[in-house]
Amino acid sequence: MLSYFVERPQENVIEATHIKSLRFIFPCNMAMPEESESARIFGTGGRLLEALKRLMGNLAGLQHLELVDLMLEPREAQHLLDEVCSICCLTLRTLILINTTKLQYQILHAGVFLNLQVLMMSPQNLGEDLIQLLGNTNLHHLHIVQNRYTPGEINFRSIPARAWRLCRRANPKLKVHLELEGSRDRDILWQDRAPVYSILYNSRHVKMLSGSVLTAVDLYKLDLRVYAHQGLPRYHMQKSFHDRIDSLLLLLCRQCPYLHTLMVRERICTGTVLLIAHTAHNLRYLYVRRNAVKLRCDWPQSPDWSYEFYEWLLQTDQNKPSCRPLLNQMTILH
């Protein structure tokens, strides 16, 4: 119906150039949300897809386009954005393509929008040629997003390190953001040598594991600025200091000197909070859960610490009135 009125300007109902944003989310999961992991996933297509392409081809002033969970076959995705490229090559600023296809398929259309500032895509729709195209644009932010409908890691591959190095050299302003959403317990698909600015987990079931942190440190320690686990956890957290993530957090802060935002939702002690504040000199935002911070220092003395430093750590931690204002000054996760 919208396309009908756009194509008849003489009726003076809708001006196509006044429409700046289009958002379309396809309900690919026909089951209830609680059954999402075992339910069958359906993709759009047919007359609905043709109507969507017709509408996009009529919106010449489009600046923001969001297409989520279309789950197309590769042959259907091949010409999905042909009309958009022809009329919005210079106007489009934000492009969001999440799970455009079920299988691995590179969508090269995303690399021809000359003034694109933000691009959000799933890893199965990226490829070496697309990364090369993005290196020749003015793109500032590339979000690689995995949601609950994104296929598992074994179904698609990451971009070769050589392609990322060439892209970084051609577009030094590009910032890559790795994001994981959904209820499945899995990890991010790592992009070797990409200019990763932030790593975001928005899943209640994904723990902060040593393998993930060590991989992030090894690949992105000089680029990483944000590391965050969002949402309240739905898993058992260890109480013992040796089984917790306190030392892992301190390692992350030591190896990533430019980290400015850290979001922690697991159990830590106040001694860890003090050590993070002492170690991460560029840290500006520290998010913790108030009821997950133990008001005591579980740290044994490290050989790298002087006697005076360890005494300061113990005395500051034992002074409960001084620790509580410290927690009050931090942003608390609810």
Q: Pick 30 or 26 by higher pLDDT.
A: 26
228 within 8 A of 261, measured Cβ to Cβ: yes
- Percent share of the chain, pLDDT over 90: 64
Q: Phi then psi for 175, rounded to 5 degrees?
A: -120, 125
**Helix H or strand E encompassing 197:** strand 196-202
61 pLDDT above the threshold of 80: yes
In the predicted model, what is the mean pLDDT of the chain?
A: 87
Judge contact between 142 and 111, C-beta under 8 A: no
Q: Which residue would you say has higher pLDDT here, 218 or 235? A: 218
Region 16-332: CATH code = 3.80.10.10
Q: Beta-carbon neighbour count of residue 17 at 10 Å?
A: 13
User: When comparing pLDDT for 41 and 173, which is higher?
Assistant: 173
| pLDDT above 50 (res 59) | yes
Q: Distances in Å between the alpha carbon of 110 and those of 136, 214, 306?
A: 12, 32, 54
Measured CA to CA, the distance from residue 253 to residue 250 in angstroms comes to 5
Q: Which pLDDT value is given to residue 139?
A: 96
Overall average pLDDT of the 173-200 stretch: 92
325 pLDDT higher than 60: no
* Percent of the chain clearing pLDDT 70 (strictly above): 86
Whether 103 shows a pLDDT value over 80: the answer reads: yes
Domains of the chain by residue range: 16-332
Q: What is the Cα–Cα distance from 160 to 42, expressed in whole angstroms? A: 30
258 three-state secondary structure: coil
Is 271 strand, coil or helix? helix
